[in-house]
Structure 1
Amino acid sequence: MLIVTGYLYVAPAELARFMTHLKALANVTRQRDGNISYDAAVDDADTGRLLLSERWADQAALAAHLNADETVQFVNQWIGRMRADIRKYDALNERDLMED
């Protein structure tokens, strides 16, 4: 499993519009093969910072998402008006929170 997480930044004045577009992308993304979860939340509205959290079955599923028409259109629509600090992690030892 891959975990993708980090921050997205947009101008506070554009946050509502950005969230509308991101929610539409999320609805499509959650239906994609290999998607386990895809979530974003406003972390600080005053600075336009959002927290992004995604889980993917494997790299092929993530790559298909990143290259999908809807994802490319979203990025192209917001390029230059959003910035991201997002990282990808391999989850090799998944277990319940309370397990050692």
Structure 2
Amino acid sequence: MLIVTGYMQVDRADLAQFLRDLQALATATRQRVGNISYYAAVDDPQAGRLLISERWSDQSALSAHLDAPDTVAFVRRWQGRMRGEIRKYDASNERDLTEV
């Protein structure tokens, strides 16, 4: 499993439109083969900062998402107006939170 997490930031004046566009993308993304979860949460509305959390079954599923026409269109639409730091992590030992 791959975990993708980090933050995105847009100008606060653009936050509402960014969230609408991201919601449309999220709805489609959650239906994609290999998507386990795909979420964004507003962390600081005054700064236009969002926390990003995604889980994917494998790299081919994530790559298919990144290459999908709606993802490419979203990135093009917001390129230069969004910034952030998002990282990908390999998870090979998934278990309940209370397990040691």
Letter paired with 2:86: I
What SS class does the counterpart of residue 95 from structure 1 fall into? coil
Q: 1:12 aligned to 2:46?
A: no
Aligned-pair CA distance for 1:84:
1.9
Looking at structure 2, the residues matched to 58 and 85 of structure 1 have their Cα atoms a distance apart, in angstroms, of 21
Report what 1:61 is aligned to.
61
Partner amino acid, structure 2, of 1:27: T
TM-score computed with the length of structure 1 as normaliser = 0.99
Count, aligned residues: 100
**Which runs of 4 or more aligned residues in structure 1 lie more than 2 Å from their structure 2 counterparts after TM superposition?**
none
CA distance in 2, matches of 1:84, 1:61: 22
Runs of 5+ unmatched residues, structure 2: none
Q: After superposition, where does 1:1-100 map in structure 2 within 5 Å?
A: 1-100=1-100
- Which amino acid is the alignment partner of residue 37 of structure 2? S
RMSD over equivalenced CA pairs, Å: 0.4
User: Residue 7 of structure 1: CA displacement?
Assistant: 0.3
Calculate the TM-score normalised by the size of structure 2: 0.99
**Which blocks of at least 5 consecutive residues in structure 1 are unaligned?**
none
